[in-house]
């Protein structure tokens, strides 16, 4: 009995090429969309971080009648027995720990011998906190410590926690008549720092946080909605994780240093993180288009990199008598 042979079917080369082209086209369309969605999510988280830190600043103000202080200098880390304000050699991130649900970390080292306290504080400075990290830039890890000078009140750590956020130190540039020199090391000892004979410099910056600052809301004569409180700081992507950036080498708890402070002088414009470019004093971010800022009134938003130099400068000065219109941001 004869049977009809079924017609064999297959895929031609042309059909295969068309299918590959369609798959490639769909991938080309979907990958940027996925990347955009991920970046959007990271930006939301970054802005949320700044809002939390901004709220912590205000809780500190409510409890102590002034915003966190900037600390003593780049050779100083926090001292758990020195309280707050001008007497605390460590930087502002240490002051806000209790208001970020980190009371335990803030309490480490208290009532210990000097040697035990130094050991305990090594743990503190190497403890990263996710709220201080922009997810578009890097993870919350302790990164290598590369500072060359070491610290007066702490043994040299192998690594240190970092902050992607910096407080507003004002609109003056290091080297200006009102700001001689650069961020300094501070005194050589606690006794020297406590002495009325010690000559402190850079105590009259125009921002909110600076050396030994105790700025309160009443000092913001331009209005709390017209001044940056804290924002994303610029960092060269080549130094995200190696600790070699001059504005990221000392750790986030260091006193009065560009690791956690930025300025709004026209010579330090805000910019997107760029490989090979050092902009130690600038605000900036890993995001396209702009950087996030928490204002002194508690609000937070994205500031465009295209903000005019004049408007950006005025947002760093708490009392220049020149408020900025929101449309300029």
Query: Can you tell me whether residue 188 is helix, strand or coil?
Result: coil
Q: 101: phi > 0 → left, psi -120 to 50 → alpha, else beta; which? A: left
Q: How far apart are CA 116 and CA 100, in angstroms?
A: 25
Q: How far apart are CA 142 and CA 161, in angstroms?
A: 4
Query: Residue 73 in contact with residue 259, Cβ under 8 Å?
Result: no
Q: How far is CA 123 from the centre of its chain?
A: 21
Is the confidence at residue 48, as pLDDT, over 50?
yes
Is the confidence at residue 182, as pLDDT, over 90?
no
Query: Residue 241 in contact with residue 143, Cβ under 8 Å?
Result: yes
Helix, strand, coil % in the chain, rounded to nearest 5: 35, 10, 60
Tokens 């080309």 identify what position? 28
> Looking at residues 72-86, what average pLDDT do you find?
95
pLDDT band for position 2 (50/70/90)? very low
Q: By mean pLDDT, which of 130-139, 142-151, 258-267 is the weakest?
A: 142-151
The pLDDT, as a whole number, for residue 111 is: 82
Where b means 16+ CB within 10 Å and e means fewer, 270-309 reads bebbeeeeebbbbbbbbbeebbbbbbbbeebebbebebee
């Amino acid at each position: 009995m004869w049977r009809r042979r079924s017609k064999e079917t297959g895929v031609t080369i042309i059909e295969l090429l068309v299918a590959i082209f369609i798959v490639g086209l769909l991938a080309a369309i979907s990958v940027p969309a996925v990347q955009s969605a991920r970046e959007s999510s990271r930006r939301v988280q970054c802005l949320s971080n700044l809002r939390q830190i901004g709220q912590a600043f205000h809780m500190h103000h409510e409890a102590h009648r002034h915003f966190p202080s900037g600390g003593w200098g780049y050779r100083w880390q926090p001292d758990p027995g020195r309280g707050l304000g001008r007497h605390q050699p460590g930087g502002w991130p240490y002051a806000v720990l209790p208001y970020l649900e980190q009371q335990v970390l803030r309490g480490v080292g208290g009532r210990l011998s000097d040697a035990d306290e130094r050991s305990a504080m090594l743990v503190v400075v190497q403890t990263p906190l996710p709220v201080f990290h922009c997810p578009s830039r890097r993870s919350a890890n302790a990164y290598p410590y590369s500072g060359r000078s070491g610290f007066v009140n702490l043994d040299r750590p192998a690594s240190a926690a970092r902050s992607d956020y910096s407080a507003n130190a004002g609109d003056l540039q290091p080297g200006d008549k009102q700001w001689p020199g650069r961020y300094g090391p501070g005194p050589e000892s606690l006794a020297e720092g406590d002495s009325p004979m010690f000559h402190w410099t850079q105590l009259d910056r125009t921002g909110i946080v600076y050396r030994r600052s105790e700025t309160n809301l009443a000092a913001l004569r331009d209005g709390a909605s017209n001044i940056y409180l804290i924002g994303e700081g610029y960092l060269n992507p080549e130094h995200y994780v190696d600790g070699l950036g001059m504005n990221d080498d000392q750790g986030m708890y260091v006193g009065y240093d560009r690791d956690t402070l930025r300025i709004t002088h026209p010579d330090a414009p805000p910019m997107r993180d760029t490989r090979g470019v050092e902009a130690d004093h600038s605000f900036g971010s890993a995001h396209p288009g702009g950087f996030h800022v928490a204002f002194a009134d508690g609000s937070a938003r994205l500031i465009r990199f295209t903000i005019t130099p004049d408007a950006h400068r005025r947002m760093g000065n708490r009392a220049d008598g020149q408020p900025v219109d929101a449309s300029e941001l």
